[in-house]
Structure 1
Amino acid sequence: MVLQFPQIDPIAFRVGPLAVHWYGITYLVAFGLFLFLAHRRLRHEPYASIQGPGAWSRRDIDDMLFLGVMGVIVGGRLGYCLFYKPAYYAMNPLEIFAVWKGGMSFHGGMLGVILSQVWFSHSRRKPYWQVMDFVAPCVPLGLASGRVGNFINGELWGRLADPSLPWAMVFPQAGPQPRHPSQVYQFLLEGVLLWVLLWIYARRNPREGQVSAAFLVSYGFFRFVAEYYREPDAHLEWLAQQTGLSMGQWLCVPMMVAGVLLWVWAQKRQPRALVAR
């Protein structure tokens, strides 16, 4: 007995000519989860103890989310075009704007968020790594929500699996062979487990920059592992065959290295005073 992919209509409901897709709903859920967790973060140290002009407020969260959404959309789309199909989009540049056809990259979205928070920290006169440490634990559950959208769409399925694997699943668009439900693996690893670890670690109030470093290393590691069970994009199978690593794994390597270097740098750095004067 092999599990069959549950045929789920990607359209959740329609309002006249407007079709609301489940994938779009999962993005809204992700942003809602960020707001909920960010409001909880305001009660945690060091943010609850910061006084003066540098004190954190709910308005900061709203502005941070707005800039982050822009970073996710723009960075995620450009990252997909540059990392996964550079030749195609170089020949068809107008297709870059056709976001309704799909194609988003986590690593590109992450770079977009990083740049958006540079602007936020500068405009609010807040230390950059203090901002990123605030953001990092609030992100993983949103990533988990996105993987639910991938599963509903029946996309980003896994590699071939042993039919005896209890949770092996047949994805109709991928042929009759059972496969790993890699979207579920990523939901659990890069989403739920990463959130639990970062949330606990952040509550220990480590040095400024180390929560961000933990995110880079942990996400990079979990994504690297999950990629062994995820089917590489068809046009990038040559990379996996020639190097033994998928594009997603190659993008995770500098991410993990950067996280280790950031953690060491933060460990040696002089702690910042909490009270802004």
Structure 2
Amino acid sequence: MFVHPQFDPVALSIGPLAVRWYGLMYLLGFFLFIVLGRYRIRHQPGGVFTREILDDALFYGVLGVILGGRLGHILFYEPAYYLQHPLEIFAIWQGGMSFHGGFLGVITAMAWLARKYKLPWLAVTDFIAPLVPLGLGAGRIGNFINGELWGRPTDVPWGMIFPYMDTLPRHPSQLYEFALEGLALFALVWLYSAKRRPLGAVSGVFMIGYGVFRSFCEFFREPDDGFLGIMTLGISMGQWLSLPMIVAGAALVYWAYQHNHYPKKIAPDSPHKHKNRN
């Protein structure tokens, strides 16, 4: 049995400015997105992305993650609380981000990016899907440092006591999610995307993988106290939100192999001009 180290959530303080570990984990995720994206551009010549498009994808993606993730947490999990404390909607440094909301935000942002560069939307999501899981894993480490999203009580030898919660040993569910939603999902999607796949297939595999891994981890995670917690059939909110992802992902993979389309290639870092550049 272990005791949570109770890390100071503030990594660095400079006068009134506090840099929090949670925010640093998001920055790490964005950094990994660029590093992995440039690697894919270099080692997968003839794809639809250039460095210019990748940089724009990061900008749009950051907006989608932050706005969608925050709104998703507010609407899916704690609408009543934020109605009573509206100013805390903006306190994202304290945590409170929903993956499913962020996912919808990024999907919307990538649709805008695809329109800007006149690219197939699924070609854009297929490229970025393998770049996302390590960022998700970094976010789970941020959850662990903050001591939030702890697990359900357990008697397993690696159970962990979260003193600010109670004295019961609990699953360190943040680390389970780091291992599955971060590392395992990255390995799955990265290796699958190493070969050229039909349009939409990589995106579908990402959706299936995340939905399955998240649903599994939810069995060990303490249900949220806010809006809903455990719902119909003993299934948590996180599992209900993951179920459509699994179904949609499976349908997308089936559609991809039925149609067997491939996006038009662009030479990496070419001076290709887009009519709607601005």
Question: Same fold judged by TM-score > 0.5?
Answer: yes
What is the CA deviation profile of residues 40-80 of structure 1, one whole-angstrom value per residue up to 9, with x for unaligned ones? 111344xx124xxxx53211111100100000000001111
Check if 1:263 corresponds to 2:253. yes
Check if 1:36 corresponds to 2:26. no
RMSD: 1.8
- Residue of structure 2 equivalent to 1:272: 262
Question: In structure 2, what residue type is equivalent to 1:137?
Answer: P
Q: In structure 2, what is the Cα distance between the partners aligned to 1:100 and 1:10?
A: 10
1:60-209 correspondence to structure 2 within 5 Å: 60-90=53-83, 93-162=86-155, 165-209=156-200
* Alpha-carbon offset, residue 239 of structure 1: 4.8
- Cα contact 2:20–2:93 (8 A) shared by 1: no
User: Does the residue aligned with 1:39 lie in a helix, a strand or coil?
Assistant: helix
- Residue of structure 2 equivalent to 1:3: 2
* Alpha-carbon offset, residue 99 of structure 1: 2.9
Q: Which moved more, 1:80-89 or 1:61-70?
A: 80-89
* % identity of equivalent residues: 51
- Residue of structure 1 equivalent to 2:50: 57
The alpha-carbon distance between structure 1 residues 17 and 87, as it changes in their structure 2 partners (threshold 3 A), is closer
* Alpha-carbon offset, residue 10 of structure 1: 0.8
After TM superposition, the runs of 4+ consecutive aligned structure 1 residues lying more than 6 A away are none
Q: In structure 2, what is the Cα distance between the partners aligned to 1:67 and 1:194?
A: 23
What is the CA deviation profile of residues 5-26 of structure 1, one whole-angstrom value per residue up to 9, with x for unaligned ones? 1121111111121111111111
* Alpha-carbon offset, residue 275 of structure 1: 4.0
- Residue of structure 1 equivalent to 2:220: 229
Question: In structure 2, what residue type is equivalent to 1:153?
Answer: N
Q: In structure 1, what is the Cα distance between the partners aligned to 2:11 and 2:147?
A: 15
Question: In structure 2, what residue type is equivalent to 1:3?
Answer: F
The alpha-carbon distance between structure 1 residues 174 and 63, as it changes in their structure 2 partners (threshold 3 A), is same
What is the CA deviation profile of residues 145-190 of structure 1, one whole-angstrom value per residue up to 9, with x for unaligned ones? 011111011110000011xx22111011220010000000000000
- Cα contact 2:22–2:95 (8 A) shared by 1: no
- Cα contact 2:204–2:249 (8 A) shared by 1: yes
Structure 2-normalised TM-score? 0.91
* Alpha-carbon offset, residue 88 of structure 1: 3.6
Equivalent pairs, count? 267
* Alpha-carbon offset, residue 92 of structure 1: 5.2
What is the CA deviation profile of residues 217-274 of structure 1, one whole-angstrom value per residue up to 9, with x for unaligned ones? 00000000000000001235x6516531110000001110110111111111142363
Q: In structure 2, what is the Cα distance between the partners aligned to 1:72 and 1:250?
A: 20
The alpha-carbon distance between structure 1 residues 168 and 49, as it changes in their structure 2 partners (threshold 3 A), is same
User: Does the residue aligned with 1:175 lie in a helix, a strand or coil?
Assistant: coil
- Cα contact 1:154–1:171 (8 A) shared by 2: yes
* Alpha-carbon offset, residue 86 of structure 1: 2.6
- Cα contact 1:13–1:21 (8 A) shared by 2: yes
- Residue of structure 1 equivalent to 2:201: 210
Structure 2 residue ranges without an equivalent (≥5): 267-271, 273-278
